[in-house]
Structure 1
Amino acid sequence: MPRGSSSKRERQYEHIKESAEQRGESTKRAKEIAARTVNKERARSGEAGSASKSSTQGKSASRRGGERSGKGGSDDRTYDELYAEAKRRDIHGRSSMNKAELKRSLSGS
């Protein structure tokens, strides 16, 4: 974090970093994601010394919510990821389900 950053931005950085690590990102990658997100938010709100055009226009990183992160919605999840989610939600019969059946059961259909 840059010197002189607010306690709000420090908390935001830690939250984003922890979330990325929970999603399975390496510590180094989690720090990078958090720093880039916080820096963009600082630029959008005028806290940064300078800001690029792309930082100040369009959706904010927090509103975009990873739209362009390369990891899409549930359609991109692997069988193992779907199975782990079904296990976490304690969905019965998950061990005999294929990928499409796991998707349906997780979506509630």
Structure 2
Amino acid sequence: MLRHREDMKTYLMENMRGGQGTVEVVHLLNPEEMLGKGRLFAENIVPPGASIGLHPHSGDIEAYYFLEGSGMYQNNEEFYPVKAGDLTVVDDQNQHGITNTGDIPLRFIALILYTGEGK
């Protein structure tokens, strides 16, 4: 399979998960292409000052792999600075969020995998 960027489903999410600003979400795989193992494999692009609000995960985990920019990642009550090359994972029954604290877009790959037999 080959999918060109212009053929990938792209969404502009306003105030994503209660955050600020508009986040661009580019779906690299569609949920049905994840064979029941997960529900998201996408590039997220968060403009300077924008954020994805703190939100819970139940029945799945989510990993962020940062490609460009810098930000402040929240995992439950803890805060961590992140930059290109870093990886974060929120476990099942926990919550996380991210804010772009830099002056260029914060770009990262987001992967959500189910912890059980799939959904």
Which TM-score tier does this pair reach, normalised by the shorter chain? under 0.3
Structure number with higher strand proportion: 2
Higher relative contact order (CA 8 A, sep 6+): 2
Structure number with higher helix proportion: 1
Q: Which has the larger radius of gyration?
A: 1
